[in-house]
Amino acid sequence: MVLSRQYSSMITLNLLDDNDAKCDFEAMRRSLAFRNDLADNSYRHAAYVRDVVVGQQDQRMNLHFVLDRELGISHSDDLLD
């Protein structure tokens, strides 16, 4: 769910300037529906990062390791941190 679309009375975005976004924090605090949807969005984002992003990062790191081994490439320890 896009919270700014569902709760446009509480969230105003500016596509040209992120610093110009406006939020009605009091209305957000008072709205149980908003708080529930925010919690749900937060959970979904965390699950996406855990289940997709971290897995892809692990696969990229493994591919990097395999390619380095096959190509005989050795990186300095500074580059691996």
For 30-44, write each residue's pLDDT tens digit.
999 999 999 999 999
Q: State the CB neighbour count (10 A cutoff) for residue 7.
A: 19
**Highest-confidence range of 8-17, 23-32, 53-62, by mean pLDDT?**
23-32
Tell the burial category of 75 from Cβ atoms under 10 Å away from its Cβ (0-12, 13-18, 19+).
exposed
Give the mean pLDDT of 17-37: 94
Report if residue 18 sits inside a domain: yes
Q: Is there a contact between 47 and 39 (Cβ–Cβ < 8 Å)?
A: no
CA-closest candidate to residue 61, choices 43, 75, 47: 75
Report if residue 62 sits inside a domain: yes
Check whether 19 has a pLDDT greater than 90. no
Check whether 63 has a pLDDT greater than 60. yes
Report if residue 65 sits inside a domain: yes
Report if residue 79 sits inside a domain: no
Instruction: Report residue 31 as tokens.
Output: 């709205």
Q: Which domain holds residue 26?
A: 3-72
Say how many domains are in the chain. 1
Report if residue 80 sits inside a domain: no
Question: What percent of the chain stands above pLDDT 90?
Answer: 59
